[in-house]
């Protein structure tokens, strides 16, 4: 004992205890200590396998014309047995440069179909109550636009089932005209059971105020409902779809070359949305 004390007293104060002595005192295995030092010195190695998995997931999505946000990447990772916190997945995607930024709606000059009172408006039967649980009872319709690489505009007319969130009708055109709206309604009619008489809820866009649209609804015993003027929250379910469509399909990619390419990608996305997309509440 006296010999050990003598040896320690001869050491410089800053080197009195070796790493090995400290590790033995706190009962920490050397392998654990040096592994952690390696991770601190080279943090990228800690999640090397996870990053490879993220890149593969993102690339698989891009091949299909889709972009994945961190929540969907996280869900895909969990299918592979990799369980990480939301913040960790988001951080890793940021490091890799594959995170999805918010879609900039101003870049595409959001389509405004309201032209004042050009026909007949209907009462708002929903009043922002979107709690229907049975399909084919409440259906939301709206039109949006996308700018293409050739400087032309593509117009999208869509109808969403409030209960199932399924896209029941989806049409694309180079003009927001009568034919676009009538084709959308025809597609819906072919999808619905013969006995269905849903509420068809829209904004006060000019398309939905005109006699040909109103009469088409009456012919099938559909009930017309309209949002209040300038209140997009009154038609939130379909607005939510457009946000997802633009974020997941278009954001992070070059604009579609022309209407034909856009139609092809949009059709693939709608199929993915209806049958494959991982559902989230928000």
The C-alpha angle 21, 23, 29, rounded to 5 degrees, equals 135
CA–CA dist 34, 43 (Å, integer): 14
Residues 7 and 56 in one domain: no
Residues 165 and 69 in one domain: no
Q: For residue 104, is pLDDT > 60? A: no
Q: What is the CA radius of gyration of the chain?
A: 29
Residues 75 and 135 in one domain: no
CA–CA dist 177, 155 (Å, integer): 9
Residues 110 and 243 in one domain: yes
Lowest pLDDT segment from 29-33, 57-61, 136-140, 234-238: 29-33
In a domain, 168, yes or no: yes
What is the pLDDT, as a whole number, of residue 164? 94
**What pTM value is reported for the model?**
0.66
CA–CA dist 95, 203 (Å, integer): 41
Mean pLDDT throughout 139-151?
Answer: 93
Q: Which of 118, 222, 192, 207 is nearest to 156 (CA)?
A: 207
Question: For residue 12, with 0-12 CB atoms within 10 Å meaning exposed, 13-18 middle and 19 or more buried, which class applies?
Answer: exposed
The three-class DSSP label of residue 154 is strand
Residues 22 and 70 in one domain: no
Residues 55 and 34 in one domain: no
Total count of domains within the chain: 3
Residues 204 and 256 in one domain: yes
Residues 89 and 145 in one domain: no
Phi and psi at 220, nearest 5°, equal -105, 10
Domain that holds residue 76: 47-96
């Amino acid at each position: 004992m006296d010999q050990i004390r003598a040896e320690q007293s001869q050491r410089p104060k800053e080197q009195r205890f070796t790493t090995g002595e400290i590790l033995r005192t706190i009962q920490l295995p050397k392998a654990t200590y040096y592994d952690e030092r390696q991770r601190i010195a080279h943090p990228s190695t800690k999640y090397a396998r996870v990053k490879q998995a993220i890149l593969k997931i993102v690339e698989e999505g891009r091949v299909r014309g889709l972009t994945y946000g961190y929540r969907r990447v996280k869900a895909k990772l969990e299918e592979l047995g990799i369980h990480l916190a939301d913040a960790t997945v988001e951080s890793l995607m940021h490091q890799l440069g594959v995170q999805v930024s918010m879609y900039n709606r101003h870049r595409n000059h959001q389509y405004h179909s309201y032209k004042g009172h050009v026909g007949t408006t209907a009462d708002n039967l929903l009043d922002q109550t979107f709690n229907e649980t049975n399909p084919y009872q409440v259906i939301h319709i709206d039109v949006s636009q996308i700018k293409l690489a050739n400087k032309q505009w593509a117009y999208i007319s869509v109808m969403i089932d409030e209960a199932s969130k399924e896209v029941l009708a989806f049409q694309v055109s180079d003009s927001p005209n009568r034919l676009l709206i009538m084709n959308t309604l025809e597609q819906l009619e072919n999808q619905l059971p013969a006995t269905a008489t849903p509420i068809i809820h829209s904004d006060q866009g000019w398309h939905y105020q005109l006699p040909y649209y109103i009469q088409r609804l009456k012919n099938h015993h559909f009930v017309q409902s309209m949002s209040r003027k300038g209140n997009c929250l009154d038609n939130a379910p379909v607005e939510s779809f457009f946000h997802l469509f633009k974020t997941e399909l278009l954001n992070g990619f070059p604009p579609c070359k022309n209407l034909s390419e856009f139609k092809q990608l949009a059709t693939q996305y709608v199929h993915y949305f209806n049958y494959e997309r991982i559902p989230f509440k928000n």
